[in-house]
Amino acid sequence: MFRGRRRSRVGALEEAPPENPKAAAEPERVLLRGIFEIGRESCDVALGERALRWRRIQPELPAGGTRRDLLGKEESLELEDIFSVKLKRRCWAKHPGRDTLLGITLFICLKEQRNKLKDSTLDLINFSEDHCDIWFRQFKKILEGFTSRPKALKILLNPQSHRKESVQVYYEKVEPLLKLAGIETDVTITEYEGHALSLLDECELRGFDGVVCVGGDGSASEAARALLLRAQKNAGVEMDCIPTLVGAELPLGLIPAGSTNALAHSLFGTPHVVTATMHIILGHIRSVDVCTFSSAGKLLRFGFSAMFGFGGRTLALAEKYRWMCPSQRRDFAVIKALAKLKPEDCKISFLLAGCSQNKQERKSQRSPESDCGGHWQTIQGQFLNISIMAIPCPCSVAPRGFAPDTRLHNGSMALRIVRNTTRSEFVKHLKRYSSVKNQFNFPFVETYTIEEVKIHPKSNSNGCSPQEEGGNHTTASEHGFPWNVDGDLMEAASEVHIRLTISKMDGLPSS
Ligand SMILES: Nc1ncnc2c1ncn2[C@@H]1O[C@H](COP(=O)(O)OP(=O)(O)OP(=O)(O)O)[C@@H](O)[C@H]1O
């Protein structure tokens, strides 16, 4: 029957509670009915509008019985879980071209534990060409009816991600499934940092239903940024007029092949390659909150998460030691940043979620500043770290996420402020990220759910300018304070204003 164990999407109907009572009450129209062998058992199979259902036909007992007694427990498969159909044939080595029809194979998606999806097959065995042809054509028609599923994808593959295994991951695990689903692909292997950005700025994307990025957070963030910039350009939106920005024209799919994969993990609930591929094949699209980072009214970039203070300094240090391997570099930078731990003297102004004026109203007024209405709060002081997350960002060092309570598309961001404290208390707080305990349950940590925030760094606590901070790391030192935006280094000399916008990505269904 199914290769591998049967999972939750296929089950005995009697045990499954109706998901939609109205739909359950309406009798489902049967499109086809016939006999197939499934898992070596002869079955009465009915193809409905929503599901394929079958019951094993029990051998008739000598004592007789009702027709219902002769049928086993009903099993079913939702049609939306089918992603391909093929005629199953046996080829004869001695007589090439004279193969024998065995039946139909359905390629299906099964739900596993912990948000994982996997591909599997269901064989419907029947040797009749006519019988199988009718069923095969009906399955094809059903698949064509799933119009939200992609037919052609532009693939961007970063060969340098993690341990340089993304090319292998794509060609061994992803491409075979895309091919099976009949999706055409056009693959570009990126050659340098920023290649995805320039490519998506100018390449022809007509005819593609989406862009898929195979790589880590850096690659994913670059591709998302590129699609958003392209959308502004095509819509003729002035880039610095942030309230009028538009969403991406094409959805972005992510195949996690990097070292942290927090973006893909936030989207799919797991950094599992086959799960990500199945979501893309099945056309699961949902909106994701993205932030704009601007300074003095000028758009600096788009991003999903940011850290200022310890998080920014650690990344700036890690960039200095690029010759080390990624994990070594990261650990070394954390230790070095901890050894040099110092607070940032900042003014933080933020707008709590739900306190803003009507967004449409703000848009129509084209107000560059949205702090009218008096809902902004300001705190000032010395802070070790400030993080702003529009998505949960789970990863190996923070399995629950850096912002576990944030949702992908809830119109708000999590603001976490770590006030100045002793190094040992700060280390305790950092260690909490890897445990299930509440990492924010410290007197020096404050958490807010916000819509916008402005971070205005003053001079450093010891009076040093950022130039002196960066040492011989020229990029960090010449342009200002280091920020960690989705794992990329961003430098800003003055106040940074962060607010939400919306993007579309391939991901979990929105229910
Ligand atoms: N051919 C290439 N050579 C060098 N860098 C590249 C190349 N192609 C893309 N890049 C850049 O590599 C950066 C990091 O890649 P990516 O995020 O995919 O991997 P990672 O750093 O291992 O993963 P993570 O960000 O999840 O930790 C990206 O910002 C991207 O712009």
Residue 462 has pLDDT above 70, yes or no: no
State in Å: Cα 488 to ligand 1 middle. Answer: 10
Atom of ligand 1 nearest to the CA of 159: 1
Identify the band that residue 328 occupies on the pLDDT scale cut at 50, 70 and 90: confident
Output the CA torsion 380→383→388→393 (10° steps): -160
Residue 236 has pLDDT above 70, yes or no: yes
Look at ligand 1, atom 10, and give the residue with the nearest C-alpha.
193
Atom of ligand 1 nearest to the CA of 260: 26
Burial of 308 by CB count in 10 Å (0-12 exposed, 13-18 middle, 19+ buried)?
buried
Q: Between residues 359 and 494, which one has the greater pLDDT?
A: 494
The pLDDT of 367-386, averaged and rounded, is 74
Atom of ligand 1 nearest to the CA of 190: 8
State in Å: Cα 251 to ligand 1 middle. Answer: 20
State in Å: Cα 88 to ligand 1 middle. Answer: 41
State in Å: Cα 218 to ligand 1 middle. Answer: 5
Contacts of 503 by beta carbon, 8 Å cutoff, 6+ apart: 224, 227, 228, 247, 248, 252, 287, 288, 289, 290, 302
Q: What is the DSSP letter of 165?
A: -
Residue 486 has pLDDT above 60, yes or no: yes
The pLDDT of 26-52, averaged and rounded, is 93
- CA–CA gap between residue 168 and residue 118 (Å, rounded): 19
State in Å: Cα 167 to ligand 1 middle. Answer: 13
State in Å: Cα 214 to ligand 1 middle. Answer: 10
Residue to substitute in 197, 219, 322 for testing ligand 1 pocket (most ligand atoms within 8 angstroms of CB)? 219
CATH class of 292-506: mainly beta
The pLDDT of 6-30, averaged and rounded, is 52
Residue 334 confidence (pLDDT): 93
- CA–CA gap between residue 23 and residue 141 (Å, rounded): 22
Residue 13 confidence (pLDDT): 33
State in Å: Cα 478 to ligand 1 middle. Answer: 23
State in Å: Cα 265 to ligand 1 middle. Answer: 17
Residue to substitute in 188, 191, 193 for testing ligand 1 pocket (most ligand atoms within 8 angstroms of CB)? 193
* 279 three-class SS: helix
Identify the band that residue 118 occupies on the pLDDT scale cut at 50, 70 and 90: very high
- CA–CA gap between residue 250 and residue 504 (Å, rounded): 7
> For the chain, which residues make up each domain, given as ranges?
13-144, 152-283, 292-506
Residue 23 confidence (pLDDT): 52
β-pairing verdict for 184-189 and 152-157: parallel
Q: Which residue has the tokens 């991901």?
A: 507
Look at ligand 1, atom 29, and give the residue with the nearest C-alpha.
218
Least confident of 144-153, 432-441, 443-452: 432-441
Least confident of 167-181, 253-267, 436-450: 436-450
Q: Among 226, 398, 409, which Cα is nearest to 307's? A: 398
Inter-residue contact 432 to 416 (CB < 8 Å): no
Residue 434 confidence (pLDDT): 81
State in Å: Cα 161 to ligand 1 middle. Answer: 5
Residue to substitute in 155, 156, 157, 158 for testing ligand 1 pocket (most ligand atoms within 8 angstroms of CB)? 158
Identify the band that residue 10 occupies on the pLDDT scale cut at 50, 70 and 90: very low
Q: Between residues 303 and 436, which one has the greater pLDDT?
A: 303
Residue 368 has pLDDT above 80, yes or no: no
Least confident of 39-53, 61-75, 214-228, 408-422: 61-75
H helices, E strands: number in the chain = 14, 21
Amino acid at site 498:
I
State in Å: Cα 395 to ligand 1 middle. Answer: 17
The pLDDT of 159-170, averaged and rounded, is 92
State in Å: Cα 496 to ligand 1 middle. Answer: 25
Residue 171 has pLDDT above 80, yes or no: yes
Look at ligand 1, atom 19, and give the residue with the nearest C-alpha.
161
Most confident segment among 7-21, 242-256, 269-283: 269-283
Residue to substitute in 161, 195, 323, 325 for testing ligand 1 pocket (most ligand atoms within 8 angstroms of CB)? 161
Residue 162 confidence (pLDDT): 83
State in Å: Cα 158 to ligand 1 middle. Answer: 6
Look at ligand 1, atom 24, and give the residue with the nearest C-alpha.
216
Identify the band that residue 5 occupies on the pLDDT scale cut at 50, 70 and 90: very low
State in Å: Cα 296 to ligand 1 middle. Answer: 29
Residue environment code for 246-278, b if the CB has 16+ CB neighbours within 10 A, otherwise e: ebbebbbbbbbbbbbbbbbbbbbbbbbbbbbbb
Residue 70 confidence (pLDDT): 60
Q: What is the chain's mean pLDDT, rounded? A: 84
Architecture of the domain whose range is 152-283 = 3-Layer(aba) Sandwich (3.40)
Residue 474 confidence (pLDDT): 36
Residue 508 has pLDDT above 60, yes or no: no
Look at ligand 1, atom 16, and give the residue with the nearest C-alpha.
216
Residue 193 confidence (pLDDT): 92
Look at ligand 1, atom 7, and give the residue with the nearest C-alpha.
192
Residue 68 has pLDDT above 70, yes or no: no
Look at ligand 1, atom 1, and give the residue with the nearest C-alpha.
191
Residue 31 confidence (pLDDT): 96
Residue 87 confidence (pLDDT): 96
- For the domain bounded by 13-144, which CATH number is listed? 2.30.29.30
Identify the band that residue 297 occupies on the pLDDT scale cut at 50, 70 and 90: confident
Residue 147 confidence (pLDDT): 95
* Span 13-23, pLDDT tens digits: 333 344 455 55
Largest CA distance in the chain: 96
Residue 372 has pLDDT above 60, yes or no: no
Atom of ligand 1 nearest to the CA of 261: 26
State in Å: Cα 199 to ligand 1 middle. Answer: 15
Residue 27 confidence (pLDDT): 79
For the chain, percent of residues with pLDDT exceeding 90: 60
Residue 400 confidence (pLDDT): 82
Look at ligand 1, atom 12, and give the residue with the nearest C-alpha.
193
The pLDDT of 289-314, averaged and rounded, is 93
Atom of ligand 1 nearest to the CA of 162: 22
Look at ligand 1, atom 13, and give the residue with the nearest C-alpha.
218
Residue 61 confidence (pLDDT): 64
Identify the band that residue 172 occupies on the pLDDT scale cut at 50, 70 and 90: very high
For the chain, percent of residues with pLDDT exceeding 70: 83
Q: Between residues 338 and 461, which one has the greater pLDDT?
A: 338
Least confident of 146-160, 309-323, 358-372: 358-372
Residue 370 confidence (pLDDT): 44
As for ligand 1, residues whose beta carbon falls within 6 Å of it are: 158-162, 190-195, 215-219, 222, 258-261, 326, 487
* Span 121-160, pLDDT tens digits: 999 999 999 999 999 999 999 999 999 999 999 999 999 9
